[in-house]
Amino acid sequence: MFGLIGHLNSLEHAQSVARDLGYPEYADQGLDFWCSAPPQIVDEITVTSITGQKIEGRYVESCFLPEMLATRRIKAATRKVVNAMAHAQKHGLKITALGGFSSIIFENFNLQQLQQVRTIKLEFERFTTGNTHTAYIICRQLEQLAPQLGIELSKATVAICGATGDIGSAVCRWLDARTDVAELLLIARDRDRLQALQEELGRGKIMQLEEALPQADIVVWVASMPKGVEIDPAQLKQPCLLIDGGYPKNLGNQIQHPGVYVLKGGIVEHSLDIDWRIMKIVNLMEMPARQLFACFAESMLLEFEKWHTNFSWGRNQITVEKMEMIGQVSLKHGFRPLLSF
Ligand code: NDP
């Protein structure tokens, strides 16, 4: 049995989802209430592969909200993540994806030190960040869509916002090794980490976002920002492909501008309907029966293949080989990158 640890993308979102999930007592509550709410299993899932294999899973709502980070409720945020992990383990889930901010909080606040959660000693091999599959899917979205928009990779400048992150660095490695992309623009705040990445790649220009945006044919957004940034689309090239892989979304405004194409990044579409109700209720996908976050799909793939191991773990260790490996089983079981706007 696999698991997905998820969270909603704002307090407002959480309140509306709580009502639809049948928890009216959560629906009118503020942030303090969510800080003390325990994790819950809120959905049972069956996924059928195109090979005919069927697997069962559970969705664990951690009750974490990005506002907890924005308002410095760090202890609440970290408790949400380890409590959700303990809950998943207690229910016998063999491999569970840490969706969205869960893995970022786990890493940034060194939660491997908090292995004992009341009576449960967390077995980290039961968890995966899902970032290898997410990075792979973003790269395939980029490779497949750019030519359709008239962007030739061999002449293209690709800016990666969040380049030094776990997903961002993996995207850079893939673009460097598996494509003939002309130029990489590396964007993040910490200069030392940017320089280390530039050295590892042996290429790439370190830049501020404002400087990079007008030069980029493609922008990959994978920065861990609790709230999106507002950008003026008039400063972008035409055509320009923006792949927003953030959760919550990195782009704060809905962009509608000629020649500017915004794609939901790190999203896969399954070939068959998934038997679940959670995606419909959270209302984040056009086709909730088939579309999902690539990190969630990673735990499904590990369950299909019985790779009960933390396939994606730690930070900045994702290799191109592992991206190819998860990519192969992704195709085998009927997942494909979302390519529609
Ligand atoms: P990491 O924490 O590993 O990396 C975040 C990166 O963003 C770092 O390079 C960081 O560098 C940079 N960053 C953070 N804030 C800013 C800022 N204000 N401006 C510029 N750069 C910034 O995160 P992950 O790689 O694990 O995740 C990235 C995003 O992908 C998150 O939004 C996450 O929720 C989402 N995600 C999506 C998934 C999916 O299935 N679609 C799955 C998993 C994650 P620095 O701190 O130096 O600025």
Q: What is the pLDDT of residues 307-338, one digit of tens each?
A: 999 999 999 999 999 999 999 999 999 999 99
Q: Average pLDDT for residues 133-138, to the nearest whole number?
A: 98
State whether residue 17 is helix, strand or coil: helix
Q: Average pLDDT for residues 29-51, to the nearest whole number?
A: 96
Nearest CA owner, ligand 1 atom 35: 246
Q: Look at 26 and 195; give whichever has higher pLDDT.
A: 195
CA distance 241 to 146: 7
* Predicted pLDDT of residue 252: 82
Nearest CA owner, ligand 1 atom 44: 100
Select from 231, 304, 306, 318 the least CA-distant residue to 274: 304
Summarised one tens digit per residue, pLDDT across range 57-93 is: 999 999 999 999 989 999 999 999 999 999 999 999 9
| DSSP character string of 140-170 | HHHHHHHHHTT--GGG-EEEEETTTSHHHHH
CA distance 159 to 183: 8
Select from 17, 93, 16 the least CA-distant residue to 277: 17
Nearest CA owner, ligand 1 atom 41: 266
Name the pTM for this structure.
Answer: 0.97
Is residue 133 within 8 Å of residue 330, measured between CB atoms? yes
* Predicted pLDDT of residue 88: 98
Residue 34, token pair as written in the block: 């969510």
Cα of 222 vs centre of ligand 1, distance in Å, is 5
CA distance 288 to 281: 9
Is residue 293 within 8 Å of residue 12, measured between CB atoms? no
Among 24-38, 137-151, 175-189, whose mean pLDDT is lowest?
24-38
Q: Which atom of ligand 1 is nearest to the CA of 209?
A: 20
Is residue 75 within 8 Å of residue 57, measured between CB atoms? no
Confidence grade of residue 183 (pLDDT, cut at 50, 70, 90): very high
* Predicted pLDDT of residue 226: 79
Q: How many DSSP H helices and E strands does the chain contain?
A: 13, 16
* 220 in contact with ligand 1, CB cutoff 6 A: no
Question: Side chain identity at 170, as an amino acid letter?
Answer: A
Indicate whether 22 pLDDT > 90: no
Q: Choose one of 224, 231, 247, 335 to mutate for the ligand 1 pocket test, by most ligand atoms within 8 angstroms of C-beta.
A: 224
Indicate whether 14 pLDDT > 90: yes
* 295 in contact with ligand 1, CB cutoff 6 A: yes
* 193 in contact with ligand 1, CB cutoff 6 A: yes
CA distance 169 to 101: 17
Summarised one tens digit per residue, pLDDT across range 255-285 is: 999 999 999 999 999 999 999 999 999 989 9
